[in-house]
A and B are shown apart, each in its own frame.
Chain A
Amino acid sequence: MTPPEALLNELERDALTELVNIGVSRAAASLRKMVGGEVLLSVPSVEIIDHHRAIALIQEREGEDLVAVRQDFSGAFQGRALLIFPQANGLELVRAVLGEALPDDEDAAAMEQEALAETGNVILNSCLATMANMLERSLTMSLPQVLRTDGRGLLANGDTAADEGPVLFLYINFSVRERSIRGYIAMVMDLRSLDALKRLVGDFIDRVMQDEA
């Protein structure tokens, strides 16, 4: 079996990074409007790793307490997209988005849930929609869902076939109102979808190379 990191070549990974970068930039623009302040998002790199490693990785890096916004997508390629934060960072993001005016009673939890879902939706939607747009395909997105669990709970879904599939793992830097927040975007796809993505990315590269030639 081909090692997951070899599924995409370096240029393809670069292209994918840029696609996500375009996506998160759009998301940042949307967040700016929401927040009314400076928001910067960037994705320094993309990793493609197998499922088990992805679970291990996220657990090793961030421990057990994770919060994630999940949206499934289908179309030319299909899978799940996850915006993952350590719990503490999730709250930080909500504070950044809502400003300091966060109520301190139990409403806060509900509000946080709401804010997370909204923020996650903005980011993931922008990301996936932009990617689809750039790849000249369309994607259908499910409604956002907030999850609080560990890495296994986030990435596993009981479907053994999917468990064997690769995960597109993106480290994402947020800077919202001068707060530094780190998180991840994980795109869980089966090999068939990844193949489709690979072809589309190849076409995208060809188009970019034609820019201003």
Chain B
Amino acid sequence: MSDFGDRAPNAAPPAELQQLAGPLFDAMARSGLSLVVTDARQHHNPVVFVNAAFTRLTGYAPEDVIGRNCRLLQGPGTDRATIATIAATLREGRLVEADLLNHRKDGTAFWNKLVVVPVPGDAGRPAFFLGTQADVTAVRAPGVQTALHVHQRALDEVTDHLRATLSTVGVMASWDWHIAERRIYGDTRFAALYQLGRGEAVRGVAPATFFSIIHPGEEARIRLAVGGILRGAEVFSKEYRVVLPDGTTRWVHGRGRRHGDAEAARFVGTMVDITDQKRAAERLRIAQTAGGIGTFEYVSGFGTVSVSAQFCQLLGLQPAADLPLRTVNSVVKPEGGSIIGATTEAEIGQVSQAEFCIIRPDTGERRWLMRRGEFLRDTETSELRFSGVIYDITDAKRTETLLRNLNEELEVRVSERTADRNRLWRLSTDIMLVARFDGTVNAVNPAWTSLLGWAEAELVGSNLMGLVHPEDRASMLAEIGKLGQGATILRFENRYRARDGSYRWLSWIAVPDADLIQAVGRDVTDERARQAELEAAQEALRQSQKMEAIGQLTGGVAHDFNNLLTIIKSSTDLLRRPDLAEERRRRYVDAISDTVDRAAKLTGQLLAFARRQVLKPEVFDVPERVQALGDMLRTILGSRIRIVTQIDTGRCLTEADVTQFDTALVNMAVNARDAMNGEGTLRVRVESSPGIPRVGAQEGRTGTFVAVSLSDTGSGIATEKLAHIFEPFFTTKDVGKGTGLGLSQVYGFAKQSGGDVGVESEVGRGTTFTLYLPRVEGEAAPQAGAVGKIQGDTGGGLRVLLVEDNVEVGRFSTQLLQDLGYETTWAASADEALALLERSHFDIVFSDVVMPGMSGVELGKLIRQRHPELAVILTSGYSHVLAEKGRSGFGLLQKPYAIEDLSLVLRRVSQSRTIR
């Protein structure tokens, strides 16, 4: 070791050792303990330092031992095994402790209590061995064991301190600033922190280096503090930021002392990383600020309190770390007590909590604070500390005050209400009553006197039952029973006897209490009388309305009947004429018969409206039915109304009462006629519909329907009346002109049949009624005889080819068809018929089914191929034939047939041909 050459070589320890071991080494070296240091990195482990105590113990001066091995202390009696153990333990870098017999320079032997500590260098390997020696020769003698232990303990402490110094966690660096020399010697961590080269810190750096890592924002402050030390100040203790080699900024706490005088003055210090503490403290501060919590710590007997910034803020004081106790307490309102009392009479662990109302000195504002603190024993001074927090509770207090005020206000209001109620009690014209469940009166209001004449004194204590009309007592008891079960009684009426003996009707509202009934009674005697009058008037009105309705109905019905009767009357009158032709006579008889049928229908309508008529639903083809009704409609509408029939669908079956259908159609036609005043155009249209559109407030429906619509060119119906037109007896016609039942029947029929009626109207343009009926699949029921009679010469000269193998039937049928007005040719077989068809023109083929040779069905098929324009009607007495072969779409007449049936089938065929 030669790098401490500029200092006294034999007196000073190597700088590197000092730097590694820190200031504590100096203390040890100066203590009375014998100390030897060897350089562990040189192979012969030479001694590099001994202190004065060593020289005193062994007699060797530094110059005697420096550079030599410690072996020189050994002699013949030295235990070789112990030496080997020491060497081995040190190689492992561990502390070793042993008693060794050594020799002084003068040759005397002594027991050396040896403790050797390896001092690690840069690479973690021992740089030095630091050994202490103690003469324990005397101790080895019995009786001085105690002294030994004392020394042993002292030794252990020193050793522990040294080790602690070497490994103190968090110490970033330590330095030894030789002020006069203007050099700073640093340890390895100092070197690392300041990025000094190997050995540079040991050799010392210029003081300027010290400031090189200090954050620019702090430099002036630290320069001032260091400047103070350099100029004689003794204590250095500053927190500041340094910028590390990697660019990060850390908070450090630099602490140091100035030692020595004048030329020998040194500034020895350490730097400890306090970044984490700073952050924690900052977080705490933020938490306190955010939570509005101020902290304080007061040591009993002191005049000042340590406080946080938030504490000052809460009290409205200038921020300070310490505040005079008196200042703190002076913000409290007079007589408000002390936030922090100067008590010394508290127990450790005692918690104290109190509220204070303060006047902030800065704003003059009144605030409420909560102070909570705990008494603790100060560990440093063993004085009593009162430590705690304050926080603002003004809002909570305000709410509390508000609630209290509100409560008081409520009390005031309650008493006001009570006064109001008392007024009501006194002034009410309704009688008020508090009674027990047995009927005993507890209290009555003055209305009893004014209404019934009873004085309060007469009533209180008496039983109510005595006043109740004998007929009402039973019901009264029942009501009291309900009250007893907790029910409230509303508008219970009974009669009470007045003082003059008359009875008044009272309407009661009563509520039960725990054991009392509170009731209010209103005199309804007059009201009841008025009610009775009203009811009588209403009854009279209803009666007159009924009469009006009956009048309308009878008027309407009478009108229709009169028309019918007129026909019958004139027909019978005509029939009485002696010179009447048979044909005319028959016509008049027919007319009478028809009219009677219509009259029957009219009564049927009334019955249907009354829902007394049972509907007889059957499946029928609507277009066919509408066409069949064509003549009838024409008759009803009269000659000045043109009928345009439009069939936009093929077969379209529905299941409904056919008679009702006819009636509905007639009713709609009559309605149209009347709307047009007997003149205009009625369009009848039949079509298939995928649903029923929305009708008025009614939702639309989907499904397959057949729609029959009748559009007139009449006056139309106003929107406000549209909603009522289906109501029974609703009519816009004059009394006697109509029953008002027509559309009602249409509506009832449609609904009953699973359909509906729609109406669209425009005032002045006309109205369209549409009857929707659900479509069904299947076969139409035979329609024979359903409607119609022989209608005179309707044949219209159509040519019919009759195919009939039976001569008698053929002859009769020919006659019949001719009578019906058809031009008839008779063929006795299918072949003959085919031949005739080739030669002459026919409109209809009427053929028997079962015939020798070609059957009627086969014939029909051939005709359909050859003469598709020709209508074919089959007739058979054997339905099984048709069941087997099917009628293949041909019209069919079941034998035996009535004349009307024949006529109808032929007409239907001929009409459909016309339309086709």
A and B together in one complex = yes
- Using A59-B326, A60-B326 as known contacts, say yes or no to A14 and B233 having CB atoms under 8 A apart: no
In the complex, the answer to whether B221 meets A211 with C-beta atoms within 8 Å is no
Min distance, Cβ A152 to any Cβ of chain B, angstroms: 14
Interface 1/0s, chain B 265-277, versus A by CB < 8 A?
A: 0000000000000
Residue A100 interfacial (CB < 8 Å):
no
- Using A180-B381, A212-B206 as known contacts, say yes or no to A40 and B235 having CB atoms under 8 A apart: yes
Residue A6 interfacial (CB < 8 Å):
no
Contacts A25-B235, A56-B326 known; 18 new A-B pairs at CB < 8 A: A14-B224, A18-B233, A22-B231, A25-B232, A25-B233, A25-B234, A56-B324, A57-B324, A60-B324, A61-B325, A61-B326, A130-B232, A205-B224, A208-B227, A209-B223, A212-B207, A212-B208, A213-B208
Please name the residue on chain A nearest to B325 by beta carbon: A60
With the chains together, A86 CA to B227 CA distance in Å? 32
Residue A11 interfacial (CB < 8 Å):
yes
Q: Which of A56-74 contact B (CB under 8 A)?
A: 56-57, 59-63
Residue A26 interfacial (CB < 8 Å):
yes
How many residues from A make CB contacts under 8 Å with B?
A: 33
Chain A contact residues: helix, strand, loop or mixed: helix
Residue B504 interfacial (CB < 8 Å):
no
Residue A78 interfacial (CB < 8 Å):
no
With the chains together, A57 CA to B235 CA distance in Å? 27
With the chains together, A57 CA to B303 CA distance in Å? 9
Q: Which of A1-37 contact B (CB under 8 A)?
A: 11, 14-15, 18-19, 21-22, 25-26, 28-29
Min distance, Cβ B575 to any Cβ of chain A, angstroms: 137
In the complex, the answer to whether A21 meets B233 with C-beta atoms within 8 Å is yes
Q: Which residues of A contact B (CB under 8 A)?
A: 11, 14-15, 18-19, 21-22, 25-26, 28-29, 40-42, 56-57, 59-63, 86, 130, 134, 171, 180, 205, 207-209, 211-213
Residue B220 interfacial (CB < 8 Å):
yes
Q: Which residues of B contact A (CB under 8 A)?
A: 182, 206-208, 210-211, 220-221, 223-228, 230-235, 237, 258, 261, 302-304, 322, 324-327, 381
Closest 7 CB pairs of A and B: A61-B303, A60-B324, A60-B326, A18-B228, A208-B227, A212-B207, A25-B234
In the complex, the answer to whether B235 meets A212 with C-beta atoms within 8 Å is no
With the chains together, A19 CA to B232 CA distance in Å? 9
In the complex, the answer to whether A211 meets B232 with C-beta atoms within 8 Å is no
With the chains together, A97 CA to B391 CA distance in Å? 45
In the complex, the answer to whether B303 meets A60 with C-beta atoms within 8 Å is yes
Contacts of B207 in A (CB 8 A): 211-212
Min distance, Cβ A193 to any Cβ of chain B, angstroms: 22
Please name the residue on chain A nearest to B208 by beta carbon: A212
Contacts of B221 in A (CB 8 A): 11, 14
Q: List 30 A-B contacts (CB under 8 A).
A: A18-B225, A18-B228, A19-B228, A21-B234, A22-B233, A25-B232, A26-B232, A28-B234, A29-B234, A29-B261, A56-B324, A57-B324, A57-B327, A59-B326, A60-B303, A60-B326, A61-B303, A61-B304, A61-B325, A134-B231, A208-B224, A209-B220, A209-B223, A211-B227, A211-B230, A212-B182, A212-B206, A212-B208, A212-B211, A213-B208
Contacts of A22 in B (CB 8 A): 228, 231-233
In the complex, the answer to whether A208 meets B324 with C-beta atoms within 8 Å is no
Contacts of A14 in B (CB 8 A): 221, 224-225
Min distance, Cβ B178 to any Cβ of chain A, angstroms: 13
Contacts of B381 in A (CB 8 A): 180
Please name the residue on chain B nearest to A134 by beta carbon: B231
Contacts of B302 in A (CB 8 A): 61
Contacts of A134 in B (CB 8 A): 231
With the chains together, A175 CA to B78 CA distance in Å? 51
Please name the residue on chain B nearest to A212 by beta carbon: B207
Contacts of B224 in A (CB 8 A): 11, 14-15, 18, 205, 208
With the chains together, A25 CA to B520 CA distance in Å? 97
With the chains together, A14 CA to B233 CA distance in Å? 13
With the chains together, A28 CA to B302 CA distance in Å? 24
In the complex, the answer to whether A40 meets B303 with C-beta atoms within 8 Å is no
Contacts of A209 in B (CB 8 A): 220, 223
Contacts of B258 in A (CB 8 A): 25
In the complex, the answer to whether B304 meets A211 with C-beta atoms within 8 Å is no
Contacts of B261 in A (CB 8 A): 29
Contacts of A180 in B (CB 8 A): 381
Contacts of A62 in B (CB 8 A): 303
With the chains together, A135 CA to B152 CA distance in Å? 53
Min distance, Cβ A146 to any Cβ of chain B, angstroms: 21
In the complex, the answer to whether B235 meets A42 with C-beta atoms within 8 Å is yes
Min distance, Cβ A175 to any Cβ of chain B, angstroms: 10
Min distance, Cβ B442 to any Cβ of chain A, angstroms: 70
Contacts of B210 in A (CB 8 A): 212
Contacts of A11 in B (CB 8 A): 220-221, 224
Min distance, Cβ A132 to any Cβ of chain B, angstroms: 13
Contacts of A56 in B (CB 8 A): 324, 326-327
Min distance, Cβ B206 to any Cβ of chain A, angstroms: 7
Min distance, Cβ A68 to any Cβ of chain B, angstroms: 15
- Using A211-B226, A213-B208 as known contacts, say yes or no to A205 and B303 having CB atoms under 8 A apart: no
In the complex, the answer to whether A42 meets B234 with C-beta atoms within 8 Å is yes
Contacts of B325 in A (CB 8 A): 60-61
Min distance, Cβ B254 to any Cβ of chain A, angstroms: 14
Please name the residue on chain B nearest to A42 by beta carbon: B235
Min distance, Cβ A69 to any Cβ of chain B, angstroms: 19
Min distance, Cβ A181 to any Cβ of chain B, angstroms: 12
Contacts of B220 in A (CB 8 A): 11, 205, 209
With the chains together, A56 CA to B324 CA distance in Å? 9
In the complex, the answer to whether B234 meets A60 with C-beta atoms within 8 Å is no
Please name the residue on chain B nearest to A208 by beta carbon: B227
In the complex, the answer to whether B235 meets A18 with C-beta atoms within 8 Å is no
Please name the residue on chain A nearest to B258 by beta carbon: A25
Contacts of A25 in B (CB 8 A): 232-235, 258
With the chains together, A62 CA to B304 CA distance in Å? 8
With the chains together, A130 CA to B231 CA distance in Å? 9
With the chains together, A30 CA to B106 CA distance in Å? 45
Contacts of B233 in A (CB 8 A): 18, 21-22, 25
Contacts of B230 in A (CB 8 A): 211
Scoring B210, B211, B220, B381 by chain A CB atoms within 10 A of each residue's CB, the highest score goes to: B220
